Structures are given as C-alpha cells and as structure tokens.
C-alpha cells in the first residue's frame, strides 16, 4: 500500500500473486488475522515479515490440491520456528482417500498433527455443520467458513474419486454491511446451496482460478453465480503459464455483465501473445502496491498483471481496492494486445 495511507483501522484482504494457485491473508490493523491456502512459501514469508504479522488466529486449508498447499508446510514450519509467532488453529481435513494423498498433502497433514500433539496449535474441521463457522473475529469484523457443509464432505468421501472441489472451503469476510467472498475451488453445486443472504458481496475471488466449476448436480451457471453475488470487483488468482486457459470464457462472459471490474493476478497468453516481453519495468510498475516478491528472481518468466490485489475494508462500510482504477495497472493493460477483461 502507499506509504502515506493510514490503515490503522482498516482490515485488509490480500490476494497474493503466487502464480497458478492461491494464497490469501486477511489482516487487521494490529497485524493479526487469517491465512487461507499457501502455494508459495517465499511469498507468504516475505508478506508476514513486511507487514509485521506475528499471530495467525486461523489457518484455513481450503482443500488438498497442490496449487493450494504446496507452500503451506514450509511456511508454517518457518513461522512456528520464531518464538514470538503463533498460530491459533489450523482448519484442514481429508478430502480424498488416503491412497490418493500426494506426498505434499501427507507431509502437511502429519506436520499439523504433530504440532497439535505438541500443543502448538489446535486443529479444526474445515466445514460448517448448520450455521457458518466463525474462525476469527476482530472488532466489528469476522471471518466465517460458509462452505462446504459437513454433509457435502461425507458425500464426497463416499463417492470417492479424485474430485475434491466439492469439499473446498469458501470464506466470507464481513465488516458492517460489506462482505468479501474467497471462493476456493468450490463448484456451482456447492454455491447454489448457500443461503441467499450469504451470497451478496462487494468483491469475490473467483472460484477455481476462473476455471470450470460445473461439477455436481447443478442448475446454476457462472452467470447465475455472479448475478447472485453482485460483486463490483472480481479477482482471479491465475498463473501466466497455467495451461488451462483460465479464466474461461464462461467466467469472462458473466463477469463482464454490469461492467464488473476484473483483476487477474498474472497476465496470460490469452491476453498477450508474448507475456515475457512485458516483464521489463515490473519493479517500478508494482511499487505502489504489494511488492512483487515472486518476480524479483530473473529466472522466473511469469508476468504480473494486477499482481497482488488488496481490498481494504474501512469503518463505515467503505471498500477500497488496490490497484486502484486509473493507475499503473490500467496503463499496463492498455499496452496488452487483446486484454480479455476489456473485451466487449
């Protein structure tokens, strides 16, 4: 954030640029809060160092896909090794049968259970039973797990297979009358079960990186989801070399309705024929926001577009998003061959 900004009363939701994957911090003015997922330990470490974060009341693992947990174990190991750092609870579960666990997932699960045995932290279930589950509250703000329902996790385990997305967590951050939804990889079959009053939000991080979300017995489409949420801003955590053509045309079509603002963390070849050609000047272009931790090494060939995105919830229902409209990000998009966020 700009050095002149006074954010002592603000609550920040940071959607960090970690390539194709997720890492979200929700931090209050005291430097405390929640982490959801961690694809890149280096980015998370730099973030907490630069922002003075020493206590994470909740760490939420949305599900055990590699692009959500690759950096979680090394980050937590590093964080807990510091004597003045603490974690309250880790919310994670088994979203697939044991033989289908990756080495990364098994290592994370065993480490968390070890820390729990040593009384370094508590372990909680990453689901709601009836009412949404509050994992952290700070003044007039709180963070709730609103999806999945426990029954959905049981159903997914009974059905087996390798589709854990129906068990993916969705977080809802609310302060006053302002809400933000952090979508995990939850498919439409999960979203359409959510109570109507929990859907409206000013900003949503698109589920599944803007990829396919038509799993389950669904009647909704992407258009339905974005219409019901009604967010003015949509964040897509996506990698330059994602290989999945994210975000998909279905997401883009639905997002463009009512001129919603789309912020993708990285540029993809769907928007520019040669993203690497736009790497020069990254340090200058992103200096007004969260530092481009992931891109300082010269060997990395990803290209941030919006980069890390921050949504500030101020007292009195004010919401500010960085990068702000009309700034360096808009100038960058103007230099892109065919920016799909601007297509008509």
pLDDT(99) > 60: yes
Tens of pLDDT, residues 66-75: 999 999 999 9
Tens of pLDDT, residues 142-195: 999 999 999 877 877 777 655 688 889 999 999 999 999 999 999 999 999 999
pLDDT score of 198: 98
pTM of the model: 0.94
Count of all residues that appear for the chain in the document: 344
Question: What domains are defined for the chain?
Answer: 11-342 (3.60.15.10)
Instruction: Tell me the CA distances in angstroms from 219 to 168, 286, 336, one per residue in order.
Output: 19, 41, 36
Tens of pLDDT, residues 229-260: 999 999 999 999 887 888 999 999 999 988 99
Strand ordering across the sheet containing 122-124: 122-124, 86-91, 55-60, 32-36, 24-27, 11-15, 309-313, 319-322
Of residues 286 and 273, more confidently modeled:
273
Q: What whole-number distance in Å separates Cα of residue 308 and Cα of residue 67?
A: 17
């Amino acid at each position: 954030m700009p050095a002149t900004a006074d954010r002592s009363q603000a609550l920040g939701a940071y959607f960090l640029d970690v390539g194709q994957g997720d890492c979200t911090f929700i931090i209050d003015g005291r430097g405390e809060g929640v982490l959801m997922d961690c694809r890149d330990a280096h980015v998370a470490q730099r973030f907490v160092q630069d922002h003075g974060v020493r206590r994470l009341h909740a760490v939420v693992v949305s599900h055990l896909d590699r692009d959500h947990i690759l950096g979680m174990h090394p980050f937590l190991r590093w964080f807990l090794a510091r004597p003045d750092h603490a974690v309250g609870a880790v919310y994670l579960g088994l979203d697939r049968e044991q033989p289908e666990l990756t080495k990364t997932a098994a290592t994370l699960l065993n480490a968390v259970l070890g820390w729990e045995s040593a009384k370094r932290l508590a372990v909680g279930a990453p689901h709601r039973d009836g009412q949404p589950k509050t994992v952290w509250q700070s003044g007039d703000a709180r963070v709730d797990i609103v999806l999945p329902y426990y029954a959905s996790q049981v159903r997914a385990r009974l059905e087996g297979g390798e589709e854990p997305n129906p068990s993916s967590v969705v977080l809802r951050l609310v302060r006053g009358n302002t809400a933000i939804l952090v979508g995990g990889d939850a498919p439409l079959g999960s979203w359409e079960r959510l109570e109507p009053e929990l859907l409206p939000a000013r900003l949503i991080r698109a589920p599944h990186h803007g990829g396919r979300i038509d799993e389950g017995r669904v009647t909704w489409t992407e258009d339905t989801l974005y219409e019901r949420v009604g967010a003015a801003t949509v964040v897509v955590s996506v990698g330059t070399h994602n290989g999945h053509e994210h975000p998909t045309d279905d997401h883009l079509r639905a997002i463009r309705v009512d001129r919603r603002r789309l912020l993708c963390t990285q540029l993809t070849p769907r928007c520019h024929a040669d993203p690497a050609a736009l790497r020069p000047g990254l340090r200058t272009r992103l200096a007004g926001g969260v530092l481009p931790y992931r891109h300082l090494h010269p060997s990395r060939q990803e290209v941030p577009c919006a980069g890390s995105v921050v949504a500030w919830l101020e007292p009195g229902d004010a919401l500010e998003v960085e990068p702000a409209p009309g700034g360096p990000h808009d100038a960058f998009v103007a230099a892109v061959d065919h920016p799909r966020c601007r297509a008509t």
